[in-house]
Structure formats: C-alpha cells, structure tokens
Structure 1
Amino acid sequence: MSGVTDPRAFGRVAVVMGGSSAEREVSLTSGRAVLAALKARGVDAHAIDGIPALLDALRAGHFARVFNILHGAGGENGELQGALDSLGVPYTGSGVLGSALSLDKVRSKLVWRALGLPTPDFEAVRRGGDVHAAAGRVGLPVVVKPVWEGSSVGVSRVFHDDDLDAAAALAERSPGDMLVERMVEGEELTVSILGRRVLPSIRIVPKGEYYDYHAKYVAEDTQYLCPGLEDAAEAELAELSLRAFDALGCEGWGRVDVMRDHEGRFWLLEVNTAPGMTSHSLVPKAAGVAGIDFQQLCWTILEQTLEGDA
C-alpha cells in the first residue's frame, strides 16, 4: 500500500454502480454506501450508473480512476476491466482474467480441480440440456444455479428428481449455462481478502434453512459469527481461501465462499471479485472485526489503484 493520507492523491473518482445485471439493486445500495464513505474521507467521488455512462465520462477526461462496485455481469466478468485497461484508467479489484474466471462458476471450479483444491463435484448443463441426467451422475441432492450470476439469483436446492425441471427453468431465466453441483451440507463460511491480508472468516447462520437472497439482503435475523472458526481450522480455511483467490488470478480484494461438511472438510464454492458493500454485507463485517471501519475499508480498496502510479 502507498500509505496515502491526502484524498487529493486520488483525483476525481468514479464510483460505478447499478448497471443492468440481475444484481442491479444490490449494486446501487453498495455503491451509495461506498460513495458516502469516500466522500466522508474527503475523496472527490461521484456516482456513475452503468458502464456506458462511465466510459463516456472517462473518454471525456472527467475521472482519474474507478471504484468498481458493479455486481454480476458487466462489472465482474472482465468486460468493464478490459475497457478500463484499454483506456489506461486504474480501477479497484481484479483484472480481466480474475474477473472472468471468478464469475464463471464452471471454469473457476475446473481451475481449482486441476490444482487439487477441493470443490464439490459438478456438471455444466447447456440451456435446454438434460438436467436429470446431470443430477443422476452428480448424485442427489444437488444445487442448480446459473453459471454467471451471484447474490443467490436463480439458485435452487433439489432433493428429488421431480423438482429438477422447475430448478432448471429458474436458472435459465439468467443468461448462460447452468451448474448442477453436489450439495454439501454443513456450515456455510465466507472469507474476505484485502490485498494480501486474509480477514477473519464469517460463519453464516440463517434463521431459515438456507442462506438465500432473502436471508442475505432482507432478513434481520441472520447470524454472522466472526471469526467463524477457531485456531487450526481458521488457519486452514484462511490458507485455502487465499490459494483459491490466487488460483483464479484475482487481485486487490474479494470474497471466497466455502462450505464445511459435517466431517470438517472444506469445499470451495466461488469467488466474488466485487462483493456486496451493503449494511448486510460480509466484507465490511469481517473488516470490522479486524479493526477496519467501513470508511477505512473503502479507502484501502481505493488506495490499491495507486500502486501502479508513478
């Protein structure tokens, strides 16, 4: 980190949010929180809704750098990162490769599998493909989800073959293929990464049976236990999470989602390269336990964009 203390060092900052993905509303909420935090620290930060408006403003020379808080397609799949690279504009988070690999759940799992990192068995199913055959090979119960979505959009947990068609129909509301993944029953954990620092894990205990969209963004009774584990298990999870993050070429900051089964084994699910920054979000919770308040968290993420400056 550069250790910058003067907000003028950042120049004019675009906080890009919203966009057109299924996660638009969550992104707007995250973006407003980030914008307010940066402004409170004296940063000349401004909200921009979506990629086309951002690129127009950048080509006109209005901004020096970008804080990317677009969730989902566009903001997390390498498209925005490629455009910003071509314009020579520094931005927060992972580059083209890390973003594209992480948003594609199938390809991220293929990389992990090739490196011997633990991830649940799975099959990719093309749109209109035979989800029953895939589930039969993976073995029920399974999780059916879109390959390119986050925030639990389009996700179904399926215990019976009769429910697979409805799960596939829900997943196919999103673009791209679907993933049929062996369901791991146990503890749901998430690990936030800030630079090269692994923050304390969070164990998520929803009031209902699962940590779905409602539990993430609406419910007030979801429990977040941080750190989620103790001693050797916490250290093992931290090491695995950083290895998974690095394996996909991720940079800057992000969040690794993991399941721990009843035998204590960890299973990697996915990496988020522009995680939520809402009042319910997990990265700010973990940062807070590590002694980093929300304003400092946003500042530290933005500070990473200065590392390549002369």
Structure 2
Amino acid sequence: MPVTPTVVFVEHARQGAFGQLAAALRRRGLRTVHITTARPLWINRLVSRLMYDRSLFIAEDALPTVGKLLEGEDVRDVQHTEYVLERLAQAAPALPAAVGDAIAHRAALLDKFALGQLCADRGVAAPDKIEASRCTPDEAVAALGLPLVVKVKVGASGLGVRIATTARDVHDAVAHLGPVDGLFYERYIAGDYLDYSAVAGPTGALQEVGTRTVAATATAPPSTIETVDELGLTEIGRKAVVELGLTGFIHIDTVRDADGRYWVMDVNLRAWGSMASLRRAGIDFTEGYLAMLGLSDRPPTCVAGPAGVTVTAFTGVVDVQIGRGRVFATLAAYARYAPAHIRRLGLRYGVASLLAALAGVAAAKLTR
C-alpha cells in the first residue's frame, strides 16, 4: 500500500503559520505530523490533534531522536522553528537524504552573526556586525555608532533584538539579553522596512512577493503589510536565494536606506506569519511548495503578487491582542479575520485556531 507523503512540523511553541500550512496540505491529501517541545497541557494536545494528523509532545533532549519517531512515515519536508533546529539537526542523518540535507543546510545558517558575514562575503549587502564577546559595549558604540542594534545570534520574530539609542541602553541590552557569547552588535540602518518572501527550488524562486510594513508592534513581525513592486527588493532577495543556496520557504527582512540601497537584516527559512494571508493578494505559496517538493506537476497560478494590496496577517493580528491579555479584543480580531481562512482551510482549523487563541489569552493573563 502506498504511503501518504508527509510534512513534519517541529516547534518549541505554537506557530500560527504552521497550523495554516498543515491545514492547506491536509486538504490536498498530504499527511501532517506535529512534534513539539511545548508543555503537554490538555488544551495544547487538543489543538494539536485538531490541526495535524499525528501529534507528538517530546522533551527538548529527545529532538535528536526525531528520525526514529518518524520511521514508517514518507517524510518529504520538515518545517521547524529556529529554537529547535540545533538539536533537530542531529537527527538529519536518520531522515531521507534530501530532507536531512535541507535541515543541515538551514542549521549552518542558524547563527545570525555568521549568516550576516556570509552575506557580506557573497556580495549580499548586510549591516556591519561585531560579536559581543570581542569588544565592550563602549567599543561597539565607537565602532558602529548610535543607535546600535544588539541581537541574539539565534532568534526569530523580533525576540532578542534591542535598538539602543544611548551607550547606557547598549549596556542594559547586553545585560538583559546575555550571555555575551550569544550576542552581537549590528550597525543601525535607518529607512523603510520591506520584506522579500518566496518559495524556491534548486534553480531559484518559484513564487515571490515584496511587502512593506504598514503596522507592527515594537520588533515583532508586522500585523499589517502592503504588497509592493520594488526592483531593488526583488534583486537583493533573488541574489540572497542564489548566493546562500536557499530552498523551500524563505522570508527575508530588509531595510531600504535614504539612498535607496537595500540591506538584508534577517533571513527565516520556514513558513512565515503572513504567508496564508497573502492569498488576499492572489498568491498561494502552497502551490509553489508542492511543486518544489515534487508533489505537483502544475505550475503556480500566481508567481508574483500584484502591488498595492493591503494584507492583515492572521493570526498575527490576533496574537497582538493575546500578548496584551485582552479577551474581548482577541475575540473581536478573530471574528473579523478568521472567517476567510476557515472558508479555505476548513471548520476543523477554525475550531483549533479559536481554542489556540483562547489558550493564549489565558496564558498571557497568568504571566502578567
């Protein structure tokens, strides 16, 4: 009996984009497996079972054994968060060669300081950086100026990033984010925040879109974006894809400075928060993803999103209210933006995403 192609999702905490992608894949006949190191609370287990075909809650130190846990599955890809990748990479040899190689390559790009240096070496513009372990905060200020960005080497979604406007702020950021071995300083680039997002195969991007930030909270991912047609953004995005050997889902954060030059600020190699919501702009990245995996012979209906479409990221807009612990605001945001996704992804996804939102609010209130 043929085995159903499987996509595996490995995370440390619930990712809205993963649940949306899983629902879309299930509706296309694929199997989905969820592996998480989150607490095995009953609500987490219920949400996981609703969103995925198979659900596994494991300890962090069990991540290197993921290959064994997936024996019998026809694994075609593994989507994962940055925080599980280092240990997950130890399981790469036990996975199908193409899948294991992809995980190993992403692991090699996990360190954001090293990634920035590689960008510079390959001719992809990136801000100057200094490892925090190699100089004092005051020396970093002298070398890179103010404002100064202090970042963790491994992070995502704006976590572990501080923009310091004074020398004292730099000292405070280092003390808060430490230890210094896991930090680096980055020259601050003033300008407009734009993102290049794509799904790519070995020969380059299969689908792509450029977006600018319309609304965001601090250093968190934007909750509202607008699609743009910017040649410079497309050029640096495509160059990064080729020079860094990127495949699969790709989300690149850039800044366009006052001179119109684009700088790569961050690269994330997984499904991203606004991906499903970009269907509003007519681009369904699931199509390119299935083609990249060799599971569809049909070319994507839309390869580049049109400019000028405003998109509110779901579940990002809900997550903003969850973080504030606002029950009614969370439900209002859910009621406004969820229906379009439920129509495409199914009622099962709708129930799971609502339960996830309510669980998030409860958790936020407990930690306030």
* Corresponding residue to 1:87 among 87, 95, 100: 95
The equivalent of 1:225 in structure 2 is: 226
Q: Does 1:15 align with 2:8?
A: yes
- The 3-state SS of whatever aligns with 1:224 is strand
Q: CA deviation at 1:225?
A: 1.0
Q: CA deviation at 1:94?
A: 4.0
Q: Distance in 1 between matches of 2:227 and 2:28?
A: 27
Change (3 A) 1:170 1:206: farther
* Corresponding residue to 1:34 among 21, 28, 35: 21
Q: Which has the higher helix share?
A: 2
Q: How does 1:229-308 map to 2 (within 5 A)?
A: 230=229, 234-276=230-272, 281-286=273-278, 288-289=280-281, 291-293=282-284, 297-298=285-286, 300-306=288-294
Residues 241 and 256 of structure 1 are in contact (CA less than 8 Å); yes or no, is this contact kept in structure 2? yes
Q: CA deviation at 1:44?
A: 2.6
Q: CA deviation at 1:151?
A: 1.0
Change (3 A) 1:45 1:92: farther
Q: CA deviation at 1:188?
A: 0.5
The equivalent of 2:333 in structure 1 is: none
Residues 16 and 66 of structure 1 are in contact (CA less than 8 Å); yes or no, is this contact kept in structure 2? no
Q: Distance in 2 between matches of 1:194 and 1:53?
A: 28
- The 3-state SS of whatever aligns with 1:136 is helix
Q: Distance in 1 between matches of 2:267 and 2:178?
A: 21
Q: CA deviation at 1:153?
A: 0.9
Q: Distance in 1 between matches of 2:152 and 2:115?
A: 14
* Corresponding residue to 1:105 among 93, 112, 118: 112
Residues 67 and 94 of structure 2 are in contact (CA less than 8 Å); yes or no, is this contact kept in structure 1? no
Change (3 A) 1:9 1:204: farther
Q: Which digits, 9 at most, give the CA deviation of each residue in 1:19-67, with x for residues without a partner?
A: 3xxxx23x3x333222222112222323232535632322xx2311154
Residues 64 and 88 of structure 2 are in contact (CA less than 8 Å); yes or no, is this contact kept in structure 1? no
The equivalent of 1:192 in structure 2 is: 197
Residues 91 and 305 of structure 1 are in contact (CA less than 8 Å); yes or no, is this contact kept in structure 2? no
- The 3-state SS of whatever aligns with 1:267 is strand
Q: Distance in 2 between matches of 1:67 and 1:131?
A: 41
Q: CA deviation at 1:112?
A: 1.9
Q: Distance in 1 between matches of 2:26 and 2:89?
A: 24
Q: Does 1:69 align with 2:69?
A: no
Report the AA paired with residue 149 of structure 1.
G
Change (3 A) 1:66 1:119: same
Change (3 A) 1:258 1:38: same
Choose 118-127 or 157-166, whichever is displaced more. Answer: 118-127
Report the AA paired with residue 113 of structure 2.
V
Q: Which digits, 9 at most, give the CA deviation of each residue in 1:196-252, with x for residues without a partner?
A: 2351201012256x4x22x54xxxxx431102xx4xxx1222121111122222222
Change (3 A) 1:46 1:111: closer
Residues 116 and 126 of structure 2 are in contact (CA less than 8 Å); yes or no, is this contact kept in structure 1? yes
Q: How does 1:125-144 map to 2 (within 5 A)?
A: 125-126=132-133, 130-144=136-150
CA RMSD of aligned residues (A): 2.9
* Corresponding residue to 1:206 among 215, 231, 242: 215
Identity over aligned pairs, percent: 22
The equivalent of 2:126 in structure 1 is: 119
Q: Distance in 2 between matches of 1:286 and 1:10?
A: 31
Residues 68 and 93 of structure 1 are in contact (CA less than 8 Å); yes or no, is this contact kept in structure 2? no
